[in-house]
Amino acid sequence: MSDRPSRNEEEYFALREAELHRERHRKAIGSHEDEERKAHFMKCPHCGAEMNTVSVDGITTDRCTECHGVFIEAEAADRLLQEKRETLHSIFKSMIRGVSSH
Ligand SMILES: [Zn+2]
């Protein structure tokens, strides 16, 4: 019997090494994405300023403190259109007030 690893053993270790390499790569990318997400959390996608959470009649939106851009989740937007047209009107009125106060 030879001390050399068999072809199957070499293939096994090569595959294992490649798997570990991919896992390290995935973790590195994952931590980079986590850092990116943390850095952009509650920042305006338009100008980068802080966003404030504003809740009107159970509908939550995030509003930029600088450019007054508004973020609303799709589900909340759908609820506004389906059930709460008056709330939608109030939100838009408050947005316009915010802009005109500057
Ligand atoms: Zn902004």
CA of residue 43 to ligand 1 center, whole Å: 8
CA of residue 102 to ligand 1 center, whole Å: 14
pLDDT digit string (tens) for 41-92? 999 999 999 999 988 778 888 999 999 898 988 888 888 888 877 777 777 7
pLDDT at 102: 43
C-alpha to C-alpha distance for 92 and 25, rounded to whole angstroms: 45
* Residue boundaries of the structural domains of the chain: 1-41, 51-100
Residue scoring higher pLDDT (36 or 42): 42
CA of residue 81 to ligand 1 center, whole Å: 24
CA of residue 86 to ligand 1 center, whole Å: 25
Among 50, 65, 74, 75, CA closest to 99: 65
Q: Is-above-0.85 flag for pTM? A: no
Lowest mean pLDDT segment, chosen from 3-7, 22-26, 41-45: 3-7
CA of residue 13 to ligand 1 center, whole Å: 52
